[in-house]
A = this chain, B = another copy of it.
Amino acid sequence: VQESFEIVSSSGNYAVTIGRDLLAGVVALDPNAIFLIDERLQNALPPSAVKRIVVEAAESRKSLEVMPEIILALREHGANRSSHLIAIGGGVIQDIATFAASIYMRGIRWTYMPTTLLGMADSCIGGKSSINVLGYKNLIGNFYPPEEVVIDVDFIRTLDAEQVIGGLFEAVKICYARGQRPFADYLAEGPTWPLAADVAQRLLTRSLRTKKWFIETDEFDQKERLLLNLGHTFGHALEAATDFGVSHGVAVGIGMLIAIDYARRRDRLTGKGHECAAQLEEHVTTMMNLVVASGVQWPDVDLSKVMQKFDNDKKHRSDVYRVVLPIGDGALELISEPRDDITREHLHASYAAVFAGLGIAMRAEAANALA
């Protein structure tokens, strides 16, 4: 049985549908559409879908420099103002499709079918794109939601443990950000790996209905929606310092552990807050152990480089670091920490403790300590 609900957005409402075996129906409904698809998934498309733009789902492709090629491909498929783009793939495909659809002839309609759990659980709604420019990651972007999001959970079979659990980290983040009850309801569904299709459908429904509240309350990332950055600022620094040797979802999981450790270290939690945060910590750790058991290779990490990347994050201000932490009774807050040595020492200690707990080697850090 499929589920549907609507997202309200300033540029028009759009529908989200979650179910099994939906791809064939989307194609049958509009075989004249232009398909933008991850090259690894193109065999999933029936031959009737003839207008195809096949893209390697690589970070380097979601760049402003590559955009003229995509626009040219649309033009060569005869796209006009009433054309319909159907994007099938993960985050990179979504970013490219959001950006290209928004600018082609000042905007054409598009449909998105996420194929990663990260996309299904989180990024497929909200309408954001993030695009690289001349080596600067995500320096540009925009807001341009699709007309429809169609989530075919059968794509989950194409994913490995790390990809599935990475998506679950975004899902639990959203539910935790909304409060204790949504978090408990999420855990009660039994998120784990391997992930059965029916469980996936229920988890995704919870995650997306919860995210719906955030984006409808704060469409343009001014306040409530910023809480969804839990784990992200810490995680991005790790991704960047390892040249993306740690995947985004897993980095977010690690980032959540660091946020909890730091909040505890700075004594920001009440007794009840400790309990809530510990529940999240336990769930994330359990999932992380499944990732490790699946044979993930951690890169060696240079902790001073991680700290440097953290320091450079564009979300900070000149005088304060800006991070989302569980505070008080465990609810999330976007807080400002003085940009001084004391803060940095505690941040450093949190990173080191979490890395050690996960068995992530800190190579160059030892060298630095000796220097």
Contact = CB atoms under 8 A, between A and B. Distances in A.
Contacts of A134: 68, 71-72
B65 A68 contact: yes
Contacts of A10: 10-11
Among A65, A81, A106, A134: residue with most chain B CB under 10 A: A106
A334 interface: no
A305 to B, nearest CB: 21
Copies in the complex: 2
Interface stretch (A17-25, A47-55, A97-105, A179-187): A97-105
A140 interface: yes
A71 B106 contact: no
Contacts of A75: 133, 136, 139
Nearest to A81: B314
A314 B80 contact: yes
A105 B71 contact: no
Contacts of A128: 106
A105 B314 contact: yes
Interface string A44-86: 0000000000000000000011011001100100001100000
Nearest to A71: B133
B314 A104 contact: no
A142 interface: yes
A273 interface: no
Interface string A88-116: 00000000000100111111000000000
A322 to B, nearest CB: 11
B71 A103 contact: no
A217 B7 CA distance: 25
A300 to B, nearest CB: 30
A142 B102 contact: yes
A221 B75 CA distance: 21
A328 interface: no
Interface string A132-160: 01101001111100000000000000000
A139 B68 CA distance: 10
